[in-house]
């Protein structure tokens, strides 16, 4: 039986203490790591499935980052919240939960600031599109809190986004932007073969590159599908042509 869908929980990485393997991102990872040692604020932009979360996890686990920020490295994810659901209270609650600040809501933001002030801290806000597109007046309140946190000289922010190539309107702090490029053919081969390795994996990688399937998630889904069905390169191409399913 042909299986074209892979459960998303098989592709997730709930244990962020073990970063997912990265392919073709070494130069980008090194450059971002060097930037964060200053520290600077960073906007990490890439289309859906390009590996923003995986790159963020890898950044947090880089030895120089671990040495500089110690245990004050936080991955704060917002991809489970639709923008129309986002509120300032929800934003503050999510922050306080990750930095382990326990206080009543009226005092949470004050406690978060006091926690961050003493020493270096790195906050990765993953999928910040939910924050940018939040309804008013919560969007403005979130932005004010973000600026207040980012203005601390010892705090570095990494904000990942699939939509905007700029930080939220009104974000007045200096920042650097990094774009996640498409994976080259050799890295496509590495991603695919890390999941499903066959004698014709090189042909699969070449075919994926020609069809612009160059994002990590799309390649991963196809590799899991090929593995589940024990497909050859020709069978994978035939299934692709039959379903006409873009990734």
What percent of the chain stands above pLDDT 90?
40
Q: How far is CA 69 from CA 25, 33, 88, 120, 123, in A?
A: 22, 12, 26, 6, 10
The pLDDT tens digits for 30-70 are 999 999 998 789 999 998 888 899 999 999 999 999 999 99
Beta-bridge mates of residue 73: 122
In whole angstroms, give the CA distance from residue 191 to residue 220.
7
The pLDDT tens digits for 113-124 are 999 999 999 999
Within-domain flag for 2: no
2 band by pLDDT with thresholds 50, 70 and 90: very low
Strand order from edge to edge, sheet including 42-45: 73-77, 121-126, 155-161, 42-45, 176-179
CA dihedral 43, 167, 77, 41 (to 10 degrees): 50
Task: Output the CA torsion sign for 99, 103, 105, 109.
Answer: negative
Q: Is the pLDDT of residue 211 over 90?
A: no
What percent of the chain stands above pLDDT 70?
87
Task: Output the CA torsion sign for 63, 31, 189, 241.
Answer: positive
Question: Could you give the 3-state DSSP secondary structure of residue 213?
Answer: coil
Within-domain flag for 165: yes
188 and 72, same structural domain? no
Joined together, the tokens standing for residue 230 give: 């024990």
40 with 102: CB under 8 angstroms? no
Within-domain flag for 1: no
199 with 167: CB under 8 angstroms? no
Position 62 scores a pLDDT of 95
In whole angstroms, give the CA distance from residue 137 to residue 151.
21
The pLDDT tens digits for 165-207 are 777 778 888 999 999 998 888 898 898 888 888 888 888 888 8
87 band by pLDDT with thresholds 50, 70 and 90: very high
151 and 51, same structural domain? yes
Domain boundary among 157, 179, 201: 179
Can you give the residue range of the structural domain that contains 226? 183-243
Position 19 scores a pLDDT of 47
In whole angstroms, give the CA distance from residue 112 to residue 167.
22
Q: How many residues does the chain have?
A: 247
Position 49 scores a pLDDT of 85
The pLDDT tens digits for 123-150 are 999 988 888 888 889 989 999 999 999 9
In whole angstroms, give the CA distance from residue 92 to residue 76.
11
119 and 90, same structural domain? yes
Give pTM, 2 decimals.
Answer: 0.81
Position 244 scores a pLDDT of 59
217 and 169, same structural domain? no
Query: Residue 2, class by beta-carbon neighbours within 10 Å (0-12 exposed, 13-18 middle, 19+ buried)?
Result: exposed
Q: How many CB atoms lie within 10 A of CB 35?
A: 17
Domain boundary among 179, 202, 218: 179
**Mean pLDDT over residues 214-240, rounded?**
88
C-alpha closest to that of 157 among 55, 73, 91: 73
156 and 216, same structural domain? no
155 and 83, same structural domain? yes
């Amino acid at each position: 039986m042909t299986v074209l869908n892979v459960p998303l929980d098989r592709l997730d990485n709930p244990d962020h203490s073990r970063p997912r393997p990265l392919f073709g991102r070494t130069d980008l990872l090194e450059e971002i790591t060097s930037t964060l040692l200053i520290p600077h604020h960073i906007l990490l932009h890439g289309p859906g499935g390009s590996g923003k979360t995986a790159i963020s996890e890898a950044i947090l686990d880089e030895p120089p980052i671990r040495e500089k920020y110690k245990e004050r490295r936080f991955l704060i994810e917002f991809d489970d919240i639709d923008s129309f659901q986002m509120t300032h209270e929800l934003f503050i609650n999510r922050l306080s939960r990750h930095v382990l600040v326990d206080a009543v809501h009226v005092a949470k933001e004050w406690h978060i600031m006091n926690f961050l002030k003493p020493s270096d801290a790195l906050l990765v806000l993953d999928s910040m599109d939910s924050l940018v597109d939040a309804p008013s007046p919560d969007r403005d309140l979130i932005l004010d809190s973000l600026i207040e946190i980012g203005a601390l000289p010892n705090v570095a922010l990494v904000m990942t986004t699939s939509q905007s190539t700029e930080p939220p309107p009104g974000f007045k702090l200096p920042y650097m932007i990094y774009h996640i490029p498409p994976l080259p053919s050799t890295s496509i081969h590495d991603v695919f073969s890390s999941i499903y390795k066959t004698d014709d994996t090189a042909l699969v990688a070449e075919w994926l590159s020609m069809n612009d399937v160059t994002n990590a998630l799309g390649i991963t889904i196809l590799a899991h599908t090929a593995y589940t069905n024990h497909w050859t390169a020709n069978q994978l191409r035939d299934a692709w042509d039959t379903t006409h399913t873009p990734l």
